[in-house]
Amino acid sequence: MDEEKLGNFMNRALNEAAATYHAALVVVGDKLGLYKTLAKHPQGLTSTELARETDTAERNVREWLASQTVGEYVIHDPETDRYSMSDEAAFALADPNGPDLAGLFYVASSVHRSEEKVTEAFKTGKGVGWGEHDPMMFCGVERFFRPGYAANLVQAWIPALEGVEEKLLRGATVADVGCGHGITTIIMGQAFPKSSFIGFDFHAPSVDRANRLAAEAGLEGRVKFEVASAKDFPGSGYDLVACFDCLHDMGDPQGTSSHVLSTMDSDGSWLIVEPFANDTLEENLNTVGRLYYSASTMICTPASLSQEVGLALGAQAGEKRIREVVKGGGFSQFRRAAETPFNLIYEAKP
Ligand SMILES: C[S@@+](CC[C@H](N)C(=O)[O-])C[C@H]1O[C@@H](n2cnc3c(N)ncnc32)[C@H](O)[C@@H]1O
């Protein structure tokens, strides 16, 4: 055994154990408004001031601040005993126009609540359904995904599709399948007032939330949500069908492909957004791959295995596998239309 390599491995594992605790503390800080309050005071706050302003107990807040300082989310000034956040940390964690990274930590914390179910599913092979996770996960997914959709969907992804933007501007019909909380459906609804949108998801609590969000956005009537599975959602002649970050979660994505094709206009487009992934494990040995393989093991793969067929593509399926599934369902054209560091954007046409 190489002592230096052992030391490096131990160091890495200790860091990760520390980060795992830290994940819970990010959620605590987010829920109690600790980051937002710190961000409002660039000159810094003492633990007593932060506790007073957030109506929390000083001793707990002081320990949280110490952990945040070691984790480099917060800066401590030993002269004044004040704590502050860098502009960058404040943007990432506390700015409504930032990436809202806390959402990612809600998802990360939620998988610990599902660990017993997932461990059991490894033995039975039966999977864990999407709806069996703690609701914290659905809220985390909504928050983590929203900034990426808000920044890219209307600005870059739709324009990358063949003639779709023009159709949406003129007035088109769109189905958003596996829509979750309907963030994408609502973003498109706001951008294209002459078009009508319907979101489908088989998880009823998500559909309820999506309908509430659409009502709050004043889109009721033109942006609707219904409970339906990807293989039997109703409607026909759709100009655009979209699947955001959900095809790999489905038990039978090829069956979904066939059904999507049967509901589309002959000149329609299927927009498929998937997590960024290369085709082989070795090509995915990076931070994004690490995040997504872990999420996939805890969430996506068990979700697919819990459904009929249980193809279990996994979140790191890669373009080659997605192409096979889409073409296997009967689509004749498939291409990568765009990409970001986190997503691959495909277009399929009949
Ligand atoms: C990671 S979430 C993505 C939600 C949403 N598209 C977004 O990007 O925010 C995956 C969604 O796929 C849905 N889903 C998985 N399998 C499905 C199926 N067979 N039919 C319909 N919805 C499904 C889940 O209920 C969940 O809402």
Domain extents in the chain: 3-93, 106-349
pLDDT band at 166 (very low <50, low <70, confident <90, very high): very high
Report d(CA 180, CA 336) in Å as an integer: 23
Ligand 1 geometric centre to CA of 2 (Å)? 46
Q: What is the mean pLDDT of residues 328-338?
A: 98
* In the chain, alpha helices (H): 3-31, 34-39, 47-54, 58-70, 87-94, 102-113, 115-124, 135-152, 164-170, 183-191, 204-216, 253-263, 287-295, 301-305, 319-328
Tens digits of residue pLDDT in 276-301 = 999 999 999 999 999 999 999 999 99
Spacing of C-alpha 214 from chain mean position:
19
Q: Mean pLDDT for the chain?
A: 97
Which residues, 6+ apart, have CB-to-CB distance to 154 below 8 Å?
187, 188, 191
Residues in the ligand 1 pocket, defined by CB under 6 Å: 130, 141, 145, 178-181, 183-184, 201-203, 206, 229-230, 244-246, 249-251, 307
Q: What is the mean pLDDT of residues 11-18?
A: 96
Q: What is the mean pLDDT of residues 267-277?
A: 97
pLDDT band at 162 (very low <50, low <70, confident <90, very high): very high
Count of all residues that appear for the chain in the document: 350
Q: Check if 3-93 and 106-349 are the same fold.
A: no
Residue position matching structure tokens 């002959």: 266
Residue type, 239: D
Tens digits of residue pLDDT in 201-258 = 999 999 999 999 999 999 989 999 999 999 999 999 999 999 999 999 999 999 999 9
Q: What is the mean pLDDT of residues 23-37?
A: 98
Q: Mapping DSSP to helix (H, G, I), strand (E, B) and coil, where does residue 76 land? A: strand
Which of the 8 DSSP states describes residue 45? B
pLDDT at 279: 96
**Residue 247 · residue 271 · CB < 8 Å:** no
Report d(CA 31, CA 102) in Å as an integer: 10
CATH superfamily of 106-349: Vaccinia Virus protein VP39 (3.40.50.150)
Query: 3-93 has which fold?
Result: Arc Repressor Mutant, subunit A (1.10.10)
pLDDT band at 80 (very low <50, low <70, confident <90, very high): very high
Report d(CA 67, CA 74) in Å as an integer: 9
Tens digits of residue pLDDT in 313-327 = 999 999 999 999 999
Ligand 1 geometric centre to CA of 108 (Å)? 18
Ligand 1 geometric centre to CA of 158 (Å)? 20
Q: What is the mean pLDDT of residues 194-205?
A: 98
pTM, two decimal places = 0.96
